[in-house]
Amino acid sequence: MLSKLSSFPTVLFSQLRQDIESFKVEEFIPYHSKEVQSYHGKLEDFIVDAGKWKRRGYKVLVAIGNEERGRQIESAFLDAQVSAAYQNELPDDILTGQCFITKASFSRGYMMDTFKFVLVTENELFGIKT
């Protein structure tokens, strides 16, 4: 499998700068990530934060377990006059300042200031583990 991988560009995200057996590292790119706070069902607080991130040029992705909940979150964004769009699949690209809500499964959210990217899951929003 590693021989097949060597023919493709490969990115390994690790906060530990170390050599990995059978994996050739060509370049280290430092980055910092941190956990996203828990909102305990306070969707309004999350939408305020998402609006701030968007204004600061972050790309925001909200991973939700089902379309119905995704549409409810999209509606809450619209009610707060903060732009966000639900899509059934992960978008190919998120532009600076955009927020997408999609059906996807991630265990935890995170924020990467280096790349101006935020991933928020149902775990942070509602305490639901997917």
Look at residue 73 in the predicted model and tell me its pLDDT.
97
CA distance linking residue 38 with residue 120, whole number of Å: 9
Q: Residue 7: inside a domain, yes or no?
A: no
Domain containing residue 87: CATH number: 3.40.50.11140
Per the structure, the complete domain to which residue 54 belongs is given by 33-126
Structure confidence at residue 26 (pLDDT): 74
Q: What is the mean pLDDT of residues 1-29?
A: 68
Instruction: Express each pLDDT in 31-90 by its tens digit.
Output: 788 999 999 999 999 999 999 999 999 999 999 999 999 999 999 999 999 999 999 988
**Distance (Å, rounded) from C-alpha 19 to C-alpha 128?**
36
| pLDDT(100) > 60 | yes
Count up the domains in the chain and report the number: 1
In a domain, 15, yes or no: no
- With a CB cutoff of 8 Å and minimum separation 6, the contacts of 129 are 107, 122, 123
pTM for the structure as a whole: 0.81
Average pLDDT over residues 115-127: 96
CB 91, CB 60: distance < 8 Å:
no
Whether residue 17 lies inside any domain: the answer is: no
Q: Is residue 87 part of a domain?
A: yes
Nearest to 103 by CA among 117, 123, 121: 121
